């Protein structure tokens, strides 16, 4: 695992410790050694208290309360800031998503993500911005072999507005016993629209935005 991944796990370990999780519980949750957890959280105050079914009970740790208050403030500020989104702002957001996660290979629009909100936004913009043929949409799922495929198809069909009949053969990943438990129950979806012209128009817009931002005026 790369250095950035370790930083993310260290931060999560500190949050869980502040919620009174034991070292063993944190190690199991994050899939790391108990020794690593011990080093990461050694300066976090631990307040032991009664626990129910492995989860902390009782008053929250001050660090947790401080974090939650800050998150609430950030959410309120963000909600006010994003109160009204114009069509152009939607386009910029969707093109940014595609620039980061979309297929660059000439021939088809292919956007994949496990976040249903991002997938919905991109599909909404594509339909709004261009004249698309709904029958040409395809969805491919990446789903671990022990997860419910029928349930996942129903979920993504509802979120993306694409009939299940237009889903292609899924990729069923082999289950690894060392895998962490926080997997996406509905898997990762790819929305596909085969059109060389449409793909070129999208890539041209991404290039034009990049050029305009890099060379203002």
* Domain spans of the chain, in order of start: 3-81, 87-214
pLDDT for residue 158 = 97
Neighbours of 42 (CB within 10 A): 9
CA distances from residue 19 to 11, 25, 42, 46, 54 in whole angstroms, order as listed: 13, 11, 14, 8, 12
What tokens does 101 get?
Answer: 């996660």
What is the pairing mode between strands 108-113 and 137-144?
Answer: unpaired
Nearest-CA neighbor of 22 among 48, 45, 42, 43?
Answer: 48
Reading phi first (left if > 0) and then psi (alpha if -120 to 50, else beta), residue 20 is in left
Phi, psi of 18 (to 5 degrees): -65, -20
- Residue 196's Cβ-count burial label (10 Å; 0-12, 13-18, 19+) is exposed
Is the Cβ–Cβ distance between 156 and 208 less than 8 Å? no
Q: What DSSP state is assigned to residue 170?
A: P
pLDDT tens track, the chain, 217 positions = 444 457 888 888 888 888 888 888 888 888 888 888 889 988 887 776 655 544 555 566 777 788 888 999 998 999 999 888 999 999 999 999 999 999 999 999 999 999 999 999 999 999 999 999 999 999 999 999 989 999 999 999 999 999 999 999 999 988 776 555 567 889 999 999 999 999 999 999 999 999 999 988 7
141 pairs with which residues across the strands? Answer: 189
The label of the residue with tokens 């006010």 reads: 80
Long-range contact list for 132-137, CB < 8 A, 24+ apart? 132/193, 132/198, 134/162, 135/166, 136/193, 136/194, 136/195, 137/162, 137/166, 137/191, 137/192, 137/193
């Amino acid at each position: 695992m790369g250095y950035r991944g370790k930083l993310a796990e260290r931060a999560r370990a500190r949050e869980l410790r502040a919620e009174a999780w034991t070292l063993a519980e944190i190690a199991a949750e994050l899939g790391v050694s108990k020794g690593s957890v011990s080093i990461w959280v050694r300066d976090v105050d631990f307040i032991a208290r009664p626990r129910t079914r492995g989860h902390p009970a009782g008053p929250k740790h001050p660090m947790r309360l401080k974090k939650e208050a800050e998150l609430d403030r950030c959410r309120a500020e963000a909600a006010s800031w994003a109160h009204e989104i114009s069509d152009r702002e939607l386009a910029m957001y969707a093109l940014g998503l595609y620039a980061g996660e979309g297929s660059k290979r000439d021939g088809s629009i292919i956007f994949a993500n496990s976040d249903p909100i991002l997938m919905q936004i991109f599909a909404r913009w594509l339909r709004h911005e261009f004249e698309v043929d709904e029958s040409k949409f395809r969805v491919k799922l990446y789903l671990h072999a022990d997860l419910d495929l029928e349930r996942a198809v129903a979920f993504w069909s509802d979120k993306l507005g694409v009939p299940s009949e237009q889903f292609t053969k899924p990729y069923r990943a082999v289950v690894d016993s060392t895998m962490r438990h926080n997997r996406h129950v509905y898997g990762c979806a790819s929305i596909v629209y085969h059109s060389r012209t449409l793909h070129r128009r999208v890539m041209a817009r991404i290039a034009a935005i990049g050029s305009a931002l890099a060379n203002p005026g």
